[in-house]
Structure 1
C-alpha cells in the first residue's frame, strides 16, 4: 500500500502539491482561513452586540456573563486572522478591527448591564431598557396597586 503523500507527488511532476483553500504549506491556514476568520468574527460581533442590546436579562446579573462571553468570542475569532494575513504578506482586512470593535462594544454593554442590575438591587435606577430589570412583582389579588 502506498502513502497518500507519495501518490500526490507522483501526480504532480513539479513536486508542488496543491493545498485546500483553508491550508497553506504549514497546515495552519492561509489567506482563505484568514478571510474566513475575519468575516466569521464580523458575524459574531454583530450577533454579540445584538444579543447584548436586546437580551431579556430580567434582573439576573449572571446572564451578563454570557453577553461578555459572546463579545469575547467576537474578538477572539478575528484576532486569529491577523497572523495569517501577515504570513501571507497581505495587509490585514478592515473587517478584523471592525469585528473586534463590535465585540468590545458588546463587552462594554454587558458590563453596563451588570452595573444596572447591581444598582437596581440596591434601589438606584440607572437608564436602561426595561427588559434588563427584574419584572415587577404582581400585586396581591383584590388590593389595588
Structure 2
C-alpha cells in the first residue's frame, strides 16, 4: 500500500509550495485489545485513545506524504521525519504548532523558506509572509479523516 501511495502522490503534484498539518482520529474502544506485536499508532491524549494523522500536501491540498502516530505525539519531530521523505519545496506552510527553531533550521538548511506564524510567547519573532500563510487553507486532512473512517 505504501508503494502505491508514493506512486500516486508523485504523479502531477506541484511541490514548490507544501503545507503541513495534523489532526486526531478517535480510536474505537476495541483498539485497546487485539494481538500484540505490530505497532498500531494508537496513543493516549487528553481526549482518550486516538491516532494522530500527520500530512504533507501540495499547494492544492493534495496529499504528498502521510504518517500515523499515537495521539500524544508532538508535531515538530514528526514534521522533521515527513520533510525528509519528500522533494525539497521552495516554501513550507504550517500553523503555530510547527513554530520551533529546530524545524526552521532544518528547512533553511534544505533551502526551503518556512512560512510559519510565531507563537504568541516567542521572545524573538521570526519574519513570515502573512499573505503566503493565507494559502494554508483547510488542508487535505478532511480527506485523510474520510480515509480513516
Larger RCO: 1 or 2 (CA < 8 Å, sep 6+) = 1
TM-score range, shorter chain: under 0.3
More helix by share: 1
Larger radius of gyration: 1
